[in-house]
């Protein structure tokens, strides 16, 4: 994001400048070295699944990783990690993330008294909360902060892009039957307008792996991920099949990439993590 670097006292445009005398943005680049926002055009395509498993795959490679859930109205990370009974602690100044499977986790769901409470916040409140999640959390020094954003191009990913002062990029998750849809293009165009680098596209639910014979059957159309990656000149980071074990791990509160790291699909998550590190 471009920021004014002028000293107001020496700037000829200062009188009409909207950023004049604004307090400087807190610098989070010292402890958040790489922030990756996981986005999608639609819900239910596996964005949270990818966020969790990618975060854990990076941690398994020895990286310090945080997972920030900015899906304010539908936080699913606490459920996915079976953290519904956990709460974020605070010392009045800083919030302390909850740890699971080697990663540090923050979600609005971890601040609620009752996990079924509805959050009824307008844009400015969401923007304020996201700012706190980034600047007022005791993250330690993170190699990667993975951000699970709600679907679309609204306040949440926008606030993350505007609050992070260090390196920030995006991953777009899609499914084979959806990849040609306009929603994915919108996410890619959003990143273009925001001048945010797209690490690549992940095609999730890309065929079905039979639990008995392990054969991969393409049940939806194929090739959409490649086509879109080519159109926008971004890498296709990987294709993750529909894997019954992913849903079952989720139900057990386990992270698939942690408990099934050596499986074929576990290796795909690991390869995606390698590409991100590379």
Q: Which residues bind to ligand ADP, rule: CB under 6 A?
A: 40, 43-49, 76, 204-205, 240, 242-243, 246-247, 250
Residue placing its CB nearer to ligand ADP in the complex, 136 or 251 = 251
Shortest gap between Cβ of 21 and ligand ADP (angstroms)?
40
* 8 A C-beta contact, residue 205 and residue 233: no
Residues 6 or more apart whose Cβ sits within 8 Å of residue 130: 70, 72, 156, 159, 160, 163
- 3-state SS assignment for residue 181: coil
What is the Cα–Cα distance from 45 to 220, expressed in whole angstroms?
13
Residue placing its CB nearer to ligand ADP in the complex, 140 or 247 = 247
Shortest gap between Cβ of 40 and ligand ADP (angstroms)?
5
Shortest gap between Cβ of 42 and ligand ADP (angstroms)?
7
Shortest gap between Cβ of 4 and ligand ADP (angstroms)?
36
Residue placing its CB nearer to ligand ADP in the complex, 45 or 56 = 45
- 3-state SS assignment for residue 268: helix
Residues 6 or more apart whose Cβ sits within 8 Å of residue 55: 65, 66, 67, 103, 144, 146
Residue placing its CB nearer to ligand ADP in the complex, 40 or 159 = 40
Length of the chain: 278
Residue placing its CB nearer to ligand ADP in the complex, 137 or 250 = 250
């Amino acid at each position: 994001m471009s920021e004014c670097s002028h000293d107001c006292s020496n700037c000829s445009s200062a009188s009409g400048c909207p950023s004049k005398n604004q307090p400087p943005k807190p610098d989070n680049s010292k402890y958040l070295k790489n922030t990756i926002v996981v986005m999608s055009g639609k819900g239910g395509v596996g964005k949270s699944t990818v966020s969790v498993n990618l975060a854990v795959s990076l941690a398994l490679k020895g990286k310090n990783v945080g997972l920030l859930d900015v899906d304010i109205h539908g936080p699913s990370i606490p459920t996915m990690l079976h953290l519904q009974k956990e709460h974020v602690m605070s010392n009045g100044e800083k919030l302390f993330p909850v740890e699971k499977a080697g990663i540090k986790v923050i979600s609005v769901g971890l601040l609620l008294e009752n996990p079924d409470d509805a959050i009824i916040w307008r844009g400015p409140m969401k923007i304020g909360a996201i700012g706190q999640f980034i600047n007022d959390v005791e993250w330690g020094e993170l190699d990667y902060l993975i951000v699970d954003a709600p679907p679309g191009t609204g306040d949440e990913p926008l606030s993350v892009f505007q609050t992070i002062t260090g390196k920030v990029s995006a991953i777009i998750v899609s499914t084979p039957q959806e990849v040609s849809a306009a929603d994915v293009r919108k996410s890619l165009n959003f990143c273009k307008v925001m001048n945010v680098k797209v690490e690549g596209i992940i095609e999730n639910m890309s065929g079905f792996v039979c639990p008995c014979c392990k054969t991969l059957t393409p049940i939806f159309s194929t090739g959409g991920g490649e086509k879109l990656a080519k159109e926008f000149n971004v890498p296709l980071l990987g294709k993750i099949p529909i894997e019954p074990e992913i849903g079952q791990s989720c139900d057990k509160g386990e992270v698939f990439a942690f408990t099934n790291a050596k499986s074929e699909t576990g290796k795909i998550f690991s390869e995606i993590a390698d590409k991100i590190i590379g």
